[in-house]
Chains A and B, each alone.
Chain A
Amino acid sequence: MAIDAATVRKVARLARIAEPEERIEALAQELNGIMTWIEQLAEVDTDGVEPLTSVVHAGLPLRDDVVTMGGDADLVTANAPKSVGGFFVVPKVVE
């Protein structure tokens, strides 16, 4: 299941990371090296084994659906690269 340049371009796009064209080949090789090493997992017999998603055995706790904090837009936007009057300012989304 070799990772080629086209796969790297596709994955980088999905991950929203701009990778310059001259880096693509080297990245494909690097990722291939790592994935080849990971392939050894195929040796493990996992027939009938339930995937382990959480080591915490308790169920997900529930709380009352009430506002616990909020109402401070200035605090929420305090670290924004751009904000006006308690709103985030973002690039144009809809043409």
Chain B
Amino acid sequence: MSALTSLTLKGALDGLDAGAFTSVELTKAHIEAVEAARGLNAFLVETPERALSMAAASDARRALGAGRPLDGIPLGIKDLFCTQGVPTTAASKILEPFVPSYESTVTSQLWRDGAVMLGKLNLDEFAMGSSNETSAYGPVINPWRKAGSNQALTPGGSSGGSAAAVAADLCLGATATDTGGSIRQPASFTGTVGIKPTYGRCSRWGTVAFASSLDQAGPIAKTVEDAAILLTSMSGHDPKDSTSLDVPVPDFAAFVGKSVKGLRIGVPKEYRVDGMPAEIEKLWADGIAWLKDAGCEIVEISLPHTKYALPAYYIVAPAEASSNLARYDGMRYGLRAEGSNLTEVYENTRAQGFGDEVKRRILIGTYVLSAGYYDAYYLKALKVRRRIAEDFDNAWEKVDAILTPTAPSAAFGLGENSNDPIAMYLNDVFTVTTNLAGLPGLSLPAGLDANGLPLGLQIIGKPLDEGTVFSVAGAIEKAAGFKTKATKWW
């Protein structure tokens, strides 16, 4: 059974095509792995019966010779995507109990392409967090541990459940979302591959909103090729999302393995931050050397407004969140608390339903949008956001893609940063710029630190140029030869 869960998504598709095993067998192996891994707290809802019936339907399709792009592949779904008839929590008490009567566009496309749903994955509450510790249902535990230590580490956030489930071989891939780094930082912390595509590639319809101008869905997977296969299914125009881009979706997997010879790769000097571990500097240098060997031209570039990206983000994202989360008023769905009048009902519902980090961000957002502060904070942040986007526009005149570290550290211990919001926010220092500029960014594992924990490199691409990002990632994956898995302890 373990042989089936250790397959890559592509390997499993090939095996299904060759008739080496059925989707029911493949799905059963993953259901058993999910049940045996409850100690990781990666799944909030398990849907084994639905998985088996979807797998049986897939096997029946295959028997007729009509295989679809993801036919029979068991996936995990971040519990931010609405799934018809299956509870959706956003890891918040305020949505309890919420059972959507509709399916998100992204997940409906995965089912259209034949994928099988194993269940819903844990996350930071409303995707607000970098360590999974803001989940109302307790944090996910990283399958990785420091060598010789039993300390529980964070899988990163907010897509910590997605990253941990893929790293622990509980599913062949997972959906995730990224508003400031929530796909890429967890991928880096768990030795997995994650991509946030260009803003507008994936429909936001049916995905619980955090900050609508920044939120993008994307996959977390075991390999670059697997991530490319999943992104192809997840992408595409959707009239139900007015920011969804009406552009053709290429076969992203065709870009993996393509030569990168002659590509110009930018290395931004501003991404060398104080206190960055020497191992991450070294990994970055390795990445540069690998791409040079593959025939790329390395170009030093400047993205001068990088240091202002996080402070700008912590105005824009909370402002949008305070507006988006106004809908949780206890009237139409979820929790309703008691109160002596309508205002009290609202106030008590939201006080009981939201966790501390979500409240903190709603308060910041409300403050920066309130009369007298709107121009000084919100409008200022939107102007800085343009400066950051212009930095990239200037860079694209000189380079085809950009290489950076994904995160400023490896996975840290649960509880280590939870008392200092700003220290936690700094996790996203290298990833948040692409959300503000709407660009694709991919993280892939490229090495281990001295404690044996995985470290990721990030590739940033031009708008809608995920293809080049996948080609560069494929070249680094091949050169790095990263094959290490977390040693099973759960």
Chain A: residues with CB nearer than 8 A to chain B? 1, 3, 7-8, 10-19, 27, 30-31, 33-35, 37-38, 40-44, 46, 49-56, 58, 60-61, 63, 75, 77-82, 88, 90-93
Contacts and interface: CB of A to CB of B under 8 A. Distances in A.
Given A53-B213, A82-B336, A41 B331 contact: no
B341 A44 contact: no
A34 B364 contact: yes
30 contacts: A14-B370, A15-B322, A15-B363, A16-B326, A17-B354, A17-B362, A18-B344, A27-B360, A31-B367, A34-B364, A34-B422, A37-B311, A37-B314, A37-B422, A38-B377, A41-B311, A41-B315, A41-B381, A42-B380, A46-B380, A51-B383, A52-B386, A53-B213, A55-B463, A58-B245, A58-B246, A79-B334, A81-B333, A81-B336, A88-B331
Given A33-B421, A56-B243, A15 B331 contact: no
B386 A75 contact: no
A46 B331 contact: no
B354 to A, nearest CB: 7
A75 B332 CA distance: 12
A47 to B, nearest CB: 9
A40 to B, nearest CB: 6
Contact of B308 (A15, A41, A81, A93): A41
B179 interface: no
Nearest to A95: B341
A3 B373 CA distance: 12
Closest 4 CB pairs of A and B: A55-B438, A51-B382, A46-B383, A79-B333
B350 A17 contact: yes
B335 A12 contact: no
A92 B331 CA distance: 12
A51 B311 contact: no
Contact of A16 (B99, B213, B239, B347): B347
The secondary structure that dominates the A interface is loop
A3 B345 contact: no
B343 interface: yes
A12 B350 CA distance: 11
Given A17-B359, A38-B311, A41-B312, A52 B331 contact: no
A80 B389 contact: no
A90 B329 CA distance: 11
Given A56-B200, A88-B331, A61 B242 contact: yes
Given A46-B387, A79-B99, A81-B330, A61 B350 contact: no
A49 B383 contact: yes
Given A18-B348, A19-B351, A7 B380 contact: no
B59 to A, nearest CB: 32
A78 B87 CA distance: 13
Interface band, chain B: 35 or more
Contacts of A18: 344, 347-348, 350-351
B342 interface: yes
The secondary structure that dominates the B interface is helix
B149 interface: no
B422 A91 contact: no
A59 to B, nearest CB: 10
A42 to B, nearest CB: 8
B382 A15 contact: no
A91 B350 contact: no
Given A11-B366, A79-B332, A30 B360 contact: yes
A17 B342 CA distance: 13
A44 B367 contact: no
A37 B309 CA distance: 12
Nearest to A12: B363
B396 interface: no
B370 A90 contact: no
A34 B336 contact: no
B163 interface: no
B467 to A, nearest CB: 19
B379 interface: yes
B245 A91 contact: no
Nearest to A37: B422
B305 interface: yes
Contact of A54 (B243, B350, B367, B384): B243
Contacts of B348: 18
Contacts of A56: 199-200, 243, 245, 438
B213 A54 contact: yes
B365 to A, nearest CB: 8
Contacts of B350: 15-18
A91 B354 contact: no
B184 interface: no
A46 to B, nearest CB: 4
A33 B379 CA distance: 21
